[in-house]
Structure 1
Amino acid sequence: MRTDRASLAADLRALGLPAGDLVVHVSLRRLGPPRDGPQVLLDALREVAGPGATIVVPTHTAHNSTTSPVFREATRGLDGPRLAAYLDAMPGFTPSMASTGMGAFAEHVRLAPGTVRSGHPQTSFAAAGPRAEEFMAVHDLDCHLGERSPVGALYRAGAHELMIGCGWERCTGLHLAEGRVPRPRRKTYTCFVDRDGKRVTEHFLGIDHDDRDFAELGAAFDRTGGSRRGRIGRTEALLTPLRGAVDFAVRWLTENRRWREDDP
């Protein structure tokens, strides 16, 4: 059974989705295939969030980085020549580059007319709506998901984050909190960027983002009553205000995250 715009909009209203700007993560497979594809879900989101809402999706590109889990998995066991060949074939980031593992809905929004994409070579976002240019304008290289990124802009705007068919482990807002804790852990990242048709290597120091405890963190926030859960289509959905989740996460991470000295 396929979902349609009317049923999706009804589910979003029942969840309590307010009018306003929204970050969206979706597993269409779990949602159930919408009739006429992901545009139906986008239309339903716009109907409920209102004409003034800007819809934002992650369009990350981990396949152009040598410091990403995607690279480590893809190159595990490769010998010298095969590893060199893999490295040679890795692309440099361009705004037209497809995202990696973000799903069909995110790609649909990225390719939609009028969409604006941020310029980060690893953790870009795409936005459609009245404030798209504003939210995507600043995304500094050394700030994956921090204050000088679309996540920071959306936090300041009072946006909500919606996870459909996925949970707290996909909540990009929680990564903003990682940079706000005392003495955040940092690491050096490496990725490739296309500049005038030439692949350039970029090295930069940034927050060492880690989502391994986000499910535990999110469960603690759920217990405060700050988030909402319900069903959208065939799957569960989670809705949270970014400010509430991030502010709580700063306190929780400060008190509970204890990395071992030898932790990679």
Structure 2
Amino acid sequence: MPTPPPTGPLVTRDDIAAQLALLGVEAGETLLVHSSLSSLGWVNGGAVAVVRGILDALGPAGTLVVPTQTGAHSDPAVWVNPPVPEEWWDRIRATMPPYDPLITPSLGVGVVPETVRTWPGARRSAHPQTSFAAVGPRSREITDGHAPDCRLGERSPLARLERLGARVLLLGAGYDSCTAFHLAEYRIPAPRVRVGRPAPGGWETVTEVSISSDRFDELGHDFERDRPVVRGTVGAADVRLFPVADAVAYAERWLPLHRPREEDFHHPRA
């Protein structure tokens, strides 16, 4: 069978920069970007063109931040997609390479974050499961000091992004991927879970706040209904743009009402 022709639209680096500027992305600001490359159309240059286009819109004084999570650095006992045989668990724990911010690839967040992670001058935070990478003059300020027992809370890049007045850009991604909502989970009563992972000296277990993206799509729907959210398109992708602080504050009120904390016990995230 011949390969089918690509589906459009054709999207270039310049298109991305121009369309982001039309949406209101400002030179010099800080953006936390969640992205889906495939949603944009046929991008000439792929993820590299997307990153260049975003950086063009931000200018040299702006900072681009992305999640570079490594969820596989976790206890195999909690793996469900897919699970592994129980008889493998001990060997996996004993031999899993520890997280290295310079070389450990991101997982499950898309090709754009992985491109940012390896970008010249990029910095990456130290948490072995929920790191962020950043490019720009504020990258060190945002990524340094990510506490190993604080995945997405007050001692993570999310809290720094909130304080800096950063905005979230959902570039073809849905609200279910909006990590800013997780910061709210640290500010409301929430159960704690034991989280296992590899460490330089061997296996370690830490106590963490239980986090879950369950119902984040509903949360995002209500947030967009009640709060000012910039909506538009880049290429074929639906785009949302809003302040981190607004999303966190709204989620702090919404989650206790719509997602009882007992629900979190059934959905720990390693």
Report the TM-score, using the length of structure 1 for normalisation: 0.90
Query: Among residues 60, 65, 69, which one is paired with 2:74 in the alignment?
Result: 65
- Taking the aligned partners of 1:201 and 1:237, their CA distance within structure 2 comes to 40
CA apart distance, 1:233: 1.2
**Which residue number corresponds to residue 215 of structure 1?**
217
Partner AA of 1:124 in structure 2: S
1:44-193, aligned counterparts within 5 Å? Answer: 44-66=53-75, 71-76=79-84, 78-80=85-87, 82-95=88-101, 96-181=103-188, 183-193=189-199
CA apart distance, 1:73: 2.7
CA contact 1:191–1:201 (8 Å) conserved in 2: yes
- Taking the aligned partners of 1:184 and 1:114, their CA distance within structure 2 comes to 37
Change (3 A) 1:246 1:50: same
SS in 1 for 2:98: coil
Change (3 A) 1:204 1:6: same
Deviation per CA, 1:172-216: give whole Å up to 9, x if none: 1110011111x22221111112x2xxx521211111111111111
CA apart distance, 1:125: 0.7
Deviation per CA, 1:92-146: give whole Å up to 9, x if none: 2111101111211111110111100100000011110001111111110111011
Deviates more, 1:7-16 or 1:107-116: 7-16
CA contact 1:67–1:191 (8 Å) conserved in 2: no
Report the TM-score, using the length of structure 2 for normalisation: 0.88
- Taking the aligned partners of 2:264 and 2:112, their CA distance within structure 1 comes to 38
- Taking the aligned partners of 1:67 and 1:174, their CA distance within structure 2 comes to 26
**Which residue number corresponds to residue 37 of structure 1?**
46
1:240-259, aligned counterparts within 5 Å? Answer: 240-259=242-261
CA apart distance, 1:46: 1.9
**Which residue number corresponds to residue 5 of structure 2?**
none
**Which residue number corresponds to residue 227 of structure 1?**
229
Aligned length: 256
Deviation per CA, 1:39-63: give whole Å up to 9, x if none: 2222221222232111011111111
CA apart distance, 1:252: 1.2
CA contact 1:139–1:150 (8 Å) conserved in 2: yes
SS in 1 for 2:114: helix
Q: CA RMSD, aligned part only?
A: 2.0
Percent sequence identity over matched residues? 37
Partner AA of 1:94 in structure 2: D
- Taking the aligned partners of 2:138 and 2:253, their CA distance within structure 1 comes to 30
SS in 2 for 1:245: helix
Change (3 A) 1:262 1:17: closer
Question: Structure 1 residue runs of 4+, over 6 Å off?
Answer: none
Partner AA of 1:248 in structure 2: Y
CA contact 1:67–1:189 (8 Å) conserved in 2: no
Q: Which runs of 5+ in 1 are unaligned?
A: none
Partner AA of 1:118 in structure 2: S
CA apart distance, 1:84: 4.2
- Taking the aligned partners of 1:30 and 1:200, their CA distance within structure 2 comes to 40
Partner AA of 2:44 in structure 1: R
SS in 1 for 2:226: coil
- Taking the aligned partners of 2:175 and 2:224, their CA distance within structure 1 comes to 10
CA contact 1:75–1:83 (8 Å) conserved in 2: no
- Taking the aligned partners of 1:66 and 1:226, their CA distance within structure 2 comes to 40
Query: Among residues 32, 36, 57, which one is paired with 1:23 in the alignment?
Result: 32
